[in-house]
Chains A and B, each alone.
Chain A
């Protein structure tokens, strides 16, 4: 039985797809057979970030509607072993994701994979509900600003009331907070909420803090999950988050502003 993880947020543009790409890549790197599903039907992005957009033949909706088999639609990642992508359809609407159809696909994937990562669309409508319905765990991606925190709170409430686990009265999905676009310098200036602020408001355990970084944008544009940029702070922060997801204890990094001291300025680049 696979562990089903939804990457969700409520708000758009906070880094769900970037996170889905990196978390799934990281899990596969740790030897877990992983599939990442793009639930954002109509606005597919995941295949761009995973750099497989030119290999899409069939998609999630084709499989749901019986026009293709799962094996035909799954795209094998070229860089990491044991990683597969199930792309979204660009020409359909989210209503094409029927509850029964999604369930069938998830059940079938569940037999062969260790992890199923569901990349949720923004909002709290049908597509987002379908993405979180089967989740065993939820990674709630949040930016350190008030509206993002509010939307994350909303989606946590929906997770508690509308997921399959909630409907069947099972133990609720395990919730993780992933804070992205974190800029400690702006936190010090009071322009951003701090990690402690967000943790206090949302009251769920912290999975990781991804620092704001140019590397993230560059990697996205090149079709590279940022976790593969192993020298970058954002890449390492994602690697830490994956390790924590797998049960390892790691200290949180990149939480404080780098003080540019006299020596580091003197020997810059040395």
Chain B
């Protein structure tokens, strides 16, 4: 007998816990004009990446006075650039009040400063997670044709394997790892649902952008390390690390 039978009401929804990877904007101080100028500059580096993204304002590193925090202005400026502020990770009570008055939800996890003193008292992290039931891993998506400029290939569940070049102006995305047996000239985004352990492998790094779980580097920042050679890219301490792929 299912619940619906006993209550006589059918379920129109189900509540589930979900973890979503978001971009956070760590605000150091707030000045309306500087904020807009900085934002414009960031967007110009990767216009497609920022379009219509949800954004969380994180105040962990905020050094300015709370009275200068104008969430209405922040929301307005972001919206002009098609960025949607969906919440605030506030550190102090004043900041929380300000966020609420701007009708922004206050997200947990931002109370680092206050939490610090409590940290030792907390449960050690060792509490082992209940081992998940053995689910079948999603099969890798395999592409044999070149991914050409303007094309986008997504593996929404598993890994993505490409046995051909990924051309400039093309974009490949995967929930898991991305393997490219050829040059990577376009954009590769691994771990799109927030898997920080995802990696990108390619035979020649000539990418416009690489991203793992939302942490990204653009071409300009990739030039000095492993450019035009076989590499693998992984996330270490929130930083993308490029390492040569050496033959074992």
Q: Are the CB atoms of A154 and B169 closer together than 8 Å?
A: yes
Interface residues in B150-205 by Cβ distance below 8 A to A read 150-151, 164-165, 167-170, 185
Please determine whether B145 and A160 come into contact, CB atoms closer than 8 angstroms: yes
The answer to the question of B146 belonging to the interface, with a C-beta cut-off of 8 Å to chain A, is yes
Interface centre among A124, A150, A151 (most CB of B within 10 A): A150
Residues on A with C-beta less than 8 A from B167 are 153, 157, 201
> Does B148 count as interface, using CB distance less than 8 angstroms?
yes
A residues near B, CB below 8 A?
124, 150-151, 153-154, 156-158, 160-161, 201, 203
A50 CB to closest chain B CB (Å) equals 32
Chain A residue numbers with a CB within 8 Å of B185 are 201
Do A150 and B168 contact each other (CB < 8 Å), given the known contacts A160-B145, A203-B146?
yes
Most buried by A among B148, B167, B185: B148
CA A161 – CA B151 in complex, angstroms? 9
B164 touches A153 (CB 8 A): no
- What number of B residues sit within 8 Å (CB to CB) of A? 14
Closest to A149 in B: B168
Give me the interface of B with A, judged by CB distance under 8 Å.
145-151, 164-165, 167-170, 185
B170 close to A157 (CB less than 8 A): yes
CA distance A236 to B169 in the complex (A): 35
Verify A154–B165 contact, CB threshold 8 A: no
Bound-state CA distance A154–B185 (Å) is 13
Q: Chain B nearest CB: distance from A135 CB in Å?
A: 16
Known A-B contacts A158-B150, A161-B151; the reply to A153 vs B168 at CB < 8 A is yes
Q: State whether B168 touches A157 (Cβ < 8 A).
A: no
Closest residue of chain B to A10, judged by CB? B149
Q: Which residue of B lies closest to A124 (CB)?
A: B150
Which residues of chain A come closer than 8 Å to B151, judged between CB atoms? 157, 160-161
Residues of B within 8 A of A151 (CB): 149
